[in-house]
Amino acid sequence: MQEHLIIIGGVAAGAKAASKARKENPDLKISIYTEGRHISYSACALPYYIEDLITDQSKLLIRSPEIFKTKYNIDVFTEYRVIEILPDSKEIQVEDIKTGNKFKVKYSALLISTGARAFMPNMEGMNLNNVFILRSFADGIAIKNSSAKARKTVIAGTGYIGLEMAESFYNSGHDVTMIEQSNQILPVLDIEMAEQIQKYLEEEKQLKIILNNKIKRLIGNENNTVKQIETNDAKIIDADLVLFSIGIRPNVELAQSAGIELGETGAIKVNEKMQTNIPDIYAAGDCVEDIDMITGKPVWMPLGSSANKQGRIAAINITGGKARFKGVLRSYVSKVFDYTVAKTGLTEKEAQKYNYNYEIIIVTHKDKSSYYPDAREITIKLIADKHTRKLLGAQIIGKGDADKRINIIATALTAGMTVDDIQDIDITYAPPYSPAIDPVIIAAQNLQEKL
């Protein structure tokens, strides 16, 4: 039998794996099966598409099924649901969603890249019109269509997708209210960093942010469209559009029912080669569990950057090469209006949770020479181990260039650098890019003095 790589799911990891596998092996039969109508799209672009910052829908679709066929000789089956994996016979059972027909296909290697889904709460009114989650391309199109006529939006959840969507709706002219069940926005950050961002959003963008609260139910109008929400404390807020952005879950049911082991986070457990516990079955992307490079512990933080890397690594190993995924720092960056919000490695609350003996420093500094016209502030929080002096993590936020600095720290964390080693980095300097002593160096100097 001809070698046949079957990939389940074709957004980031799956699409990347398919094209990389083709590059590595011109003769391999490669098929992608996916429930959705779209593959190889940028889910991260959807907030910008919804607000019309990107107007051409086709730009978000990186590669169409036709391109996969003609350019890569890869067969893409959209709107096909894989209903069972049969490891003993090395087959999958597939259902054609349009016809209901079922059939089996043999694989020599299988890659599970089923991704994740947004969490949908179970409450009164969830079936009303203009109530959304944002995960798939289809979700994005649906929100965009409704957003044009809506004016009062309520977003449940203040993670980075919730905030990107707040900006998207704000830029579309909506009045935006955010409801967060925890005591801070962006719960992934430490609270004092989150509070600085909240202050900016409330004072400069007039966003309404409600903490320590939840939506209890949704109230519709005569057209079965949402018109209000009720909070846990019985507050009624007008809303003609509601977005739930309160967390995601890995799509692991298919894998689990085939006997594939899950990790302690509930996502699929894989080794550095992206292999599951079943021979010839790999997994990559948002459905897998990662190892945190700082703690060595399992974590689940699905991000497009890791998904693309993992898809590539899986493809190299499937086609006989050698590549390893070393782990994640859960680095992320997000544009929150004029703010850049970025983190890498551990937050202080994580350092506490993992019982590190740590020290922190928070400094605020201009990102360029202070006399240079568009110099803007960034606030850096650095965390280091008191004993080893190794960096544990950083959070950098502000209107200035936080992203440049977070990636210096991400590189330093990958290399296991200490606070002292940061001094030795020969960071570039010119007034349009940096002060003579970069804020990262200043933060590390101040942390040295505390250690």
Interface residues with its own copies (CB under 8 A) are: 12, 42, 44-45, 48, 53-54, 56, 59-60, 293, 303-309, 312, 323, 326-335, 340, 342, 344, 369-373, 401, 403-404, 406-408, 410-417, 421, 423-434, 436-438, 441, 445
Residue 437, CB-side half-sphere exposure with 13 Å CA sphere: 10
Instruction: Rank residues 323 and 363 by Cβ distance to its own copies and give the closer one.
Output: 323
Question: Do 260 and 254 touch, CB atoms closer than 8 A?
Answer: no
Q: How far is the CB of 15 from its own copies (least distance, A)?
A: 10
Q: Which amino acid, one-letter code, is at 241?
A: L
Structure tokens at 422: 């940061």
- Give strand pairing partners of 95: 81, 102
| Runs of H (alpha helix) within 110-159 | 137-147
The distance of closest approach from Cβ of residue 147 to its own copies in the complex, given in angstroms and rounded to an integer, is: 18
Q: How far is the CB of 310 from its own copies (least distance, A)?
A: 11
Minimum CB distance to its own copies, residue 113 (Å): 14
Report the nearest approach of its own copies to the CB of residue 357 (Å).
23
8 A C-beta contact, residue 13 and residue 308:
yes
Residue 44 annotated as catalytic: yes
| Least distance in angstroms from the C-beta of 24 to its own copies | 10
Q: Choosing from 24, 25, 36, 44, which is the catalytic residue?
A: 44
Residue 360 — φ and ψ, nearest 5°? -125, 160
Residue number with CB closer to its own copies (247 or 416)? 416
Burial class (CB in 10 A: 0-12, 13-18, 19+), 56: exposed
Are the C-beta atoms of 118 and 132 separated by less than 8 Å?
no
Name the E strands within 215-331.
215-220, 226-231, 236-238, 241-244, 248-250, 281-283, 290-291, 298-299
Token pair of 46 as six digits: 């959807």
Nearest CB to its own copies, comparing residues 12 and 207: 12
Is the CB of 24 or the CB of 230 nearer to its own copies?
Answer: 24
Q: Which residue has the tokens 């699409």?
A: 15
Task: Please list the alpha-helical segments (H only) found in 124-282.
Answer: 137-147, 160-171, 191-205, 253-257
* CA distance linking residue 344 with residue 336, whole number of Å: 17
Choose between 17 and 92: whose C-beta lies nearer to its own copies: 17
How would you label 143-162 residue by residue, b for 16+ Cβ within 10 Å and e otherwise?
Answer: bbebbeebebbbbbbbbbbb
The two most distant CA atoms of the chain are separated, in Å, by 69
Is 115 or 327 the residue whose CB approaches its own copies more closely?
327
Give the residue with the Cβ less far from its own copies, 72 or 433.
Answer: 433
What DSSP designation does 49 have? H
For the bound state, the minimum distance from the C-beta of residue 376 to its own copies, rounded and expressed in Å, comes to 15
Q: Which residues are catalytic?
A: 44
